[in-house]
Amino acid sequence: MRFILGITLVLTAFAPFAFNDVFADSFNVSFNKDGYQTGDTLVISGQIIDFGMPVIAMSVFDPDGKILSANNLDLSSDGSFSKTITLESPFYEMPGEYLVKLDYGQVTEEHSFVIQGDIVESEPETTPSDVIVPEIMSFYTEKDHYSDGDTIKIFGSVSTLDSPTVLIGVHDPFGTPAGFYFGNINNDLEFSASFLVKDGVNFKSEGTYSIKAHYVEDDAQHFFEYTIEPSTITQTEDTTQTEDTTRHNTN
């Protein structure tokens, strides 16, 4: 009895090792393609060489380790199995390596397949010195004071040609729009615009008017004075200049 009991204990102790030896390295697994895209059909096939149990468990994990599916696959009479998976979005949208875990008895094997992402060609990097930001470099009127019947002339320049025109808005002393004009940019990156002052039409109030230029994402502002009658200061300056010129010619 002691001899029989000893043999039984020895067999019991070595039984797990014998089971593992039977099923170790007993999987033949293959995929129908080397790489996949989202929307493809994946077929995983295999063969259990040391065929014993009638089912094999299969689990699929995404590149982040999140489980996507778990199934029991029935084995054919010859120990073979096959599973078709449609790699549909959003479950198989992430590019990377997906893990397939197969469990058969006490044996576990891990296999993987790759879902390839779209190849995006990188654009060459540009240094800040290569980029010229579109902006208004100068913006002004021909005079600082205008009156009824005058022609207002506006001039300016930009840093680079990004748009063919500059939008110019004129606003009265209360901020009300008095008109909008376009300044065409020439080859020297300069622009200009002009319009006639008509009291009661486009100029209805005396005071300080503002003009604002808009170009791409930049803007600039300038101010001038408007009175219905010509400024007495301007007339005095003109008279003084005339007298000085006459005096100079006489001498």
3-state secondary structure 100-152: EEEEECCEEEEEEEEECCCCCCCCCCCCHHHCCCCCEEEEEECCCEEECCCEE
| Residue, of 108 and 221, whose pLDDT is higher | 221
For 153-180, what is each residue's pLDDT tens digit? 999 999 998 888 998 989 999 988 888 8
| pTM confidence score | 0.44
pLDDT score recorded for residue 245: 33
Strands 55-61, 96-104: pairing is antiparallel
26-115 and 132-232 in the same fold: yes
Preceding peptide of 63 cis, ω within 30°: no
Average model confidence (pLDDT) across the chain: 80
CATH code, residues 26-115:
2.60.40.1930
CATH number of 132-232: 2.60.40.1930
Would you say 161 and 144 are in contact if contact means Cβ atoms under 8 Å apart?
A: no
Q: What residue segments make up the domains of the chain, in order of their start?
A: 26-115, 132-232
What would the pLDDT profile of 95-152 be if each residue is shown by its tens digit?
A: 999 999 998 878 888 999 999 976 445 555 655 556 888 999 999 999 999 999 999 9
